[in-house]
């Protein structure tokens, strides 16, 4: 569907992806702005992995910001990939897109060239992903990211107990870093920003974080819901 300014598609009656017709590389949804935080912190970007293609919002943004980088995307639905190529890739930029389940991809993927940045934005209707609290999934992500790389992870949580549960998992996998969580007002999206080698997040971003969590200090909420 589209109007004069946006083109979008729905899954199960919920808008899942939208693109500005006049500025295709701009980020439309609030949580995607938080997903982009590592792009303002990272110094070297040669390889990027985008898990959860959807309508390609993050892929278009990353392509525009890092035109020389090698970028790969993962999407389990061939139908979604076809929609992206037909309606959400106006500049017809060729990209490496793996039609594969995210969990299977990170489990089976081996690389001697790690990714400097990994963004994970996957959705399963209105239910939690079956592996969202699975340690092995995040351990596999850690194996794919560079030593001084960054990971941005989008989750959809409605309860603080869910945040606490994933916090316990992530701080065990990344024990030497402080992880920050960001929440857009009136949305259930929680974006986790992880610096894999404990690079310091700019204080400007820290002041906007909903919570911070680390192996040493535990989970601390910094803002109200």
170: three-class secondary structure by DSSP: helix
Q: Is 82 a catalytic residue?
A: no
Cα torsion at 201, 203, 209, 213 (round to 10°)?
50
Burial of 149 (0-12, 13-18, 19+ CB in 10 A): buried
State the CB neighbour count (10 A cutoff) for residue 103.
19
Under DSSP, the state recorded for 201 is P
Q: Which of 121, 143, 168, 225 is catalytic?
A: 121
Query: Measured between alpha carbons, how far is 131 from 206 in angstroms, rounded to an integer?
Result: 28
For 91, phi and psi rounded to 5 degrees?
A: -90, 0
Which positions are annotated as active-site residues?
121
């Amino acid at each position: 569907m589209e109007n004069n300014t946006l083109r979008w598609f729905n899954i199960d009656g919920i808008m899942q992806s939208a693109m500005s017709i006049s500025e295709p590389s701009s980020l439309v949804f609030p949580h995607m702005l938080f997903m982009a935080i590592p792009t303002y912190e990272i110094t070297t970007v040669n390889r990027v992995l985008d898990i959860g293609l959807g309508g390609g919002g993050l892929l278009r943004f990353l392509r525009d910001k890092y035109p020389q980088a090698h970028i790969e995307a993962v999407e389990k639905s061939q139908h979604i990939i076809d929609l992206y190529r037909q309606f959400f890739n106006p500049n017809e930029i060729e990209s490496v897109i793996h039609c594969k389940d995210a969990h299977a991809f990170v489990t089976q993927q081996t690389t001697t060239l790690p990714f400097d940045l990994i963004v994970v934005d996957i959705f399963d209707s209105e239910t939690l992903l079956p592996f969202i609290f699975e340690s092995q999934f995040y351990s596999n992500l850690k194996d794919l990211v560079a030593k001084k790389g960054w990971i941005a992870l989008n989750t959809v949580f409605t309860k603080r107990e869910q945040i606490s549960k994933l916090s316990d998992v992530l701080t065990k996998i990344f024990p030497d870093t402080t992880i920050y969580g960001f929440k857009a007002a009136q949305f259930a999206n929680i974006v986790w920003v992880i610096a894999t080698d404990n690079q310091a997040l700019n204080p400007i971003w820290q002041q906007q974080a909903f919570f911070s969590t680390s192996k040493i200090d535990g989970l601390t909420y910094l803002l109200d819901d």
